[in-house]
Amino acid sequence: RKEVEQDPGPFNVPEGATVAFNCTYSNSASQSFFWYRQDCRKEPKLLMSVYSSGNEDGRFTAQLNRASQYISLLIRDSKLSDSATYLCVVLLITGANSKLTFGKGITLSVRP
């Protein structure tokens, strides 16, 4: 099983749609979780951290399910500007070392 796996894509949705991405991780000892956004030909940037209780930032909601080892990102009322690649990221700390593992990313295209 891969360390971090994301939904296969791409996703192509109309403006205003609600879209959800899932991501599973293999190591149950993983401590922290994030969603990053990457625009075409640009560097990834942090979109939001994922908290155990779930968290919301405007139209974006992130959730964590430790029992099933997955995280999700929900985007409501999609905008054209949401078109990008979304990367789920998992942090594992073992002793003095920290490792961030990135999913391959899922591309979202929002059409007018």
Partner 1 sequence: EAQVTQNPRYLITVTGKKLTVTCSQNMNHEYMSWYRQDPGLGLRQIYYSMNVEVTDKGDVPEGYKVSRKEKRNFPLILESPSPNQTSLYFCASSARLAGNTGELFFGEGSRLTVL
Smallest gap from Cβ 77 to partner 1, in A, equals 25
Smallest gap from Cβ 9 to partner 1, in A, equals 12
Is position 104 an interface residue for partner 1 (rule: CB under 8 A)?
yes
Is position 80 an interface residue for partner 1 (rule: CB under 8 A)?
no
Q: Report the residue count for the chain.
A: 112
Is position 45 an interface residue for partner 1 (rule: CB under 8 A)?
yes
Is position 13 an interface residue for partner 1 (rule: CB under 8 A)?
no
Is position 105 an interface residue for partner 1 (rule: CB under 8 A)?
yes
d(CA 60, CA 50): 11
**Residues 6 or more apart in contact with residue 97 via CB below 8 angstroms:** none
Is position 57 an interface residue for partner 1 (rule: CB under 8 A)?
no
**From residue 58, how far is each of 75, 98, 101 by CA, in Å?**
9, 30, 26
The SS3 assignment for 92 reads strand
Q: Is the omega angle on the peptide bond into residue 8 within 30 degrees of 0, that is, cis? A: no
Smallest gap from Cβ 90 to partner 1, in A, equals 11
Q: Quickly tell me which residue has 């998992």 as its tokens.
A: 90
Binding site for partner 1 (CB under 8 A): 31-32, 34, 36, 41-46, 49-51, 87, 89, 91, 93, 96-105
